[in-house]
Each structure stands twice: as C-alpha cells, then as structure tokens.
C-alpha cells in the first residue's frame, strides 16, 4: 500500500479531493491520509462540503484559519511539517492553486517526499493573481503533473518539464459533478427559492480585484441591479463581501431589491442544482467556468484573463470586462437562447481520478 497524504484547504479543493479519495480507495493500492488545513474553516464553506461529497472525516485538521497570504502559507507549512514528519507519507498530493496547495508542496519538497500536483499547468499569465504564483511554484517542484486540459501540457513543456512527468488526465472536478449530478437535481433548490427554470441569474464573486475594490464592487452591484430588471438574481455571498456592499449606494440598493436574493454560502449540491437551472452564471471563479462548460450552461467570467481557455474555445464560457452594458447584453442573450452551445472537452468524462490513480500507482511501484 502506498501511504498518500491528500491535502484539502479550500472549498474547490474539497470537490477535487473527494473524487481522488474515492478513486484511490477503489484502486486498492493506496492508504489515504486526509489532511484538512482549515484554510476555509467556516462550517458553511467546509463541513457541509465534506458531508455532501461523502468524504471521510479528515485524519488531521490543522485549523490554520485566515490571515494574509504570507501568514496563512506560513501557518500551513509550520503545522503540516509536523504531520509529514510524524506520519511519513510515501507521496503528497495537492490540488489546485490555493495557499494550502503551495504551502504543502513546499513542505513536502523540503522533506524530500515525492509530490503530485493535480490540475497542473494552468496559466492565466497574470502574476498579480496570487493563484498564478501558487500554480507556477507548485508545478516547478512537483514530480508528477496531472493536467485537466491540453493548454496545461503545452505550458509545462514550454517551462522545461519532461514529458514523462506529465499526464493529460482530465478534470477531477467534473468527476464529482457527474457523480452527484442527479442527487443535486433532486434537491430542487431552484424551486424552493421560487425560481423558474432558465429564467434567473446565478452570481459568484470572491477575488480581491472585484470585491475588495470599492469602485469595482459598486460597478458590479450596478450590473446586478440591471440584470435584476430582466429576471431574479441569486447571489450566495461571503459575509465579508456582504458587509462591503453596504459601503456603496449601489450595494445598498442591491440588498433591498425585491428581485435579488443575497444568501449565505450554500452547499455543493444546492449550488450545483442552481447552476443546472440558471439562465446565466456570472462569476470570477476558475472552477465554475469548468462546471458550467460540463453542464453546457451560459457563463460569463468577469476577469481580463482565464487560466482555463478550453472553457472559452470549446465550452460555454466568455470573458467580459466589468462593464454594465456588456453584462446586461449577456443576460439578454442567455435568456433568449442565443448563447453559444459549446461542447464538453475530451477526458471530462467522470473518470479522471481513476486515470490518475492507475498512473500514479504504476509510477510509484
């Protein structure tokens, strides 16, 4: 048995680790040590995901909590080093691009433990994004690089990684989506909120460039007010962002608008159901670009770039600037059924985790 440390820190990590944990157990070759760093420590952002995704209780909970990027990364490194020294895993597996990912990767590398990065090779080429730095650093020190789309292979080869260390495995986030799609649909979350199929807009926003800048947040709120003229707007919102909305006139108007549902963060299954039945998803998230492509749902990403170009080239995603009229036009296009149809990328078939488990076992045997 290969003793494998699986590292989860933030909400998107849980979805990916859930699929990998299940595949590793099913293979019969891995003994998993599930480590929750506590980067997302609120029960609404963490506990409910573990329950809904059918994940075991973490073997280790580090409880690092919030802080600046440096503080959070340092806390994870300090605490996870103790675990690695005590548990002596044969390999450490990290996913995605959050602070927990790069912290665990650096610690494993310094302890000479083989390192696996799932979702490797993605590049926005925007180094003002903390996630881009985390991706570059983690890839640069990983032994095994599992890639979700062809652009990732191209980037890794251009950066000097050997072809033998790279596998285009597919998208593990879509593994979880396919596994829980029916269960999510059965929640009928949209109906419980009084929403009609393909008649409402679903919103997510979390990146500092959008929610920490008062001018940008005000403009974003104005865009949502305009969308609310076309149909209901559902915005599961982080409490910190909700508080900041109150500092702007448009934000205060958004909070009072009868067609806007500002809710606390919700569970994975409920959110997946809302995505499945929305007319348009408006986001600044990476993973949601992929999920909407897999669901063939219209999506606009309010960013100047994306590290997931296949969602635009082949899927249903489009990049838009923070421009009220362009966002409104996208809403009208989605409601009218004029949005591009898109197609599902190769290897986004619900079996990426199985391919990773098989490849990693062969590589380590």
Residues 29-48: what's their mean pLDDT?
78
Which of 58-72, 246-260, 303-317 is the least confident region?
58-72
Domain ranges of the chain: 2-171+348-364, 180-336
pLDDT for 64: 81
Q: What is the CATH number of domain 180-336?
A: 3.40.50.2000
The pair of three-digit structure tokens given for residue 242, joined into one six-digit string = 């909700």
- Decide if pLDDT at 43 tops 80: no
Which of 23-27, 266-270, 326-330 is the least confident region?
266-270
Instruction: Compare 67 and 185 and report the one with higher pLDDT.
Output: 185
In this structure, the number of other CB atoms found within 10 A of the CB of residue 342 comes to: 21
Distance CA 163, CA 149 (A): 15
Backbone dihedral region for residue 120 (phi beyond 0: left; psi -120 to 50: alpha; all else: beta): beta
DSSP codes joined into one string, 263-294:
E----HHHHHHHHHH-SEEEE--SHHHHHHHH
* Residues involved in catalysis: 206
Distance CA 360, CA 365 (A): 8
* CB of 221 closer than 8 Å to CB of 245: yes
* pLDDT tens digits for range 211-222: 889 999 999 999
* pLDDT tens digits for range 2-22: 999 999 988 888 999 999 999
Give the confidence band of 206 by pLDDT, cuts at 50, 70, 90.
confident
pTM of the predicted model as reported, rounded to 2 decimal places:
0.95
Q: Do domains 2-171+348-364 and 180-336 have the same CATH topology?
A: yes
pLDDT for 15: 94
Mean pLDDT in the chain?
95
Give the confidence band of 40 by pLDDT, cuts at 50, 70, 90.
low
Q: What is the topology classification, in CATH, of domain 2-171+348-364?
A: Rossmann fold (3.40.50)
């Amino acid at each position: 048995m290969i003793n494998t440390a699986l590292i989860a820190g933030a909400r998107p990590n849980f979805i990916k680790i859930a699929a990998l944990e299940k595949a590793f157990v099913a293979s019969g070759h891995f003994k998993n040590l599930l480590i929750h760093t506590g980067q997302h420590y609120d029960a609404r952002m963490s506990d409910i995901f573990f329950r809904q995704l059918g994940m075991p209780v973490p073997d280790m909970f580090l409880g690092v909590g919030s802080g600046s990027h440096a503080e959070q990364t340092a806390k994870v490194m300090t605490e996870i080093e103790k675990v690695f020294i005590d548990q002596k895993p044969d390999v450490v597996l990290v996913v995605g691009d959050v602070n927990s990912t790069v912290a665990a990767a650096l610690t494993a590398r310094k302890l000479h433990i083989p390192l696996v990065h799932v979702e490797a090779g993605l590049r926005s080429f925007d180094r003002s994004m903390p996630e881009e730095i985390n991706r570059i650093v983690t890839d640069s020190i990983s032994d095994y690089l599992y890639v979700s789309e062809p652009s990732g292979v191209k980037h890794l080869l251009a950066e000097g990684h050997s072809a033998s260390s790279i596998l285009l495995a597919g998208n593990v986030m879509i593994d979880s989506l396919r596994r829980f799609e029916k269960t999510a649909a059965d929640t009928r979350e949209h109906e419980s909120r009084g929403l009609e199929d393909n008649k409402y807009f679903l919103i997510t926003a979390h990146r500092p460039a959008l929610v920490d800048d008062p001018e940008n947040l005000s403009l974003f709120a104005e865009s949502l007010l305009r969308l609310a003229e076309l149909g209901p707007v559902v915005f599961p919102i982080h409490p910190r962002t909700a508080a900041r909305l109150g500092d702007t006139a448009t934000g205060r108007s958004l909070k009072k608008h009868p067609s806007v549902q500002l809710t606390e963060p919700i569970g994975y299954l409920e959110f997946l159901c809302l995505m499945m039945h929305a007319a348009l998803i408006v986001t600044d998230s990476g993973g949601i670009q992929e999920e909407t492509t897999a669901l063939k749902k219209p999506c606009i990403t309010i960013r100047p770039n994306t590290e997931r170009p296949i969602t635009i080239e082949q899927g249903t995603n489009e990049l838009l600037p923070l421009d009220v009229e362009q966002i409104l036009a996208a809403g009208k296009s989605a409601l009218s059924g004029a949005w591009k149809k898109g197609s599902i990328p190769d290897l986004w078939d619900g079996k990426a985790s199985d391919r990773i488990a098989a490849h990693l076992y062969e590589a380590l045997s």
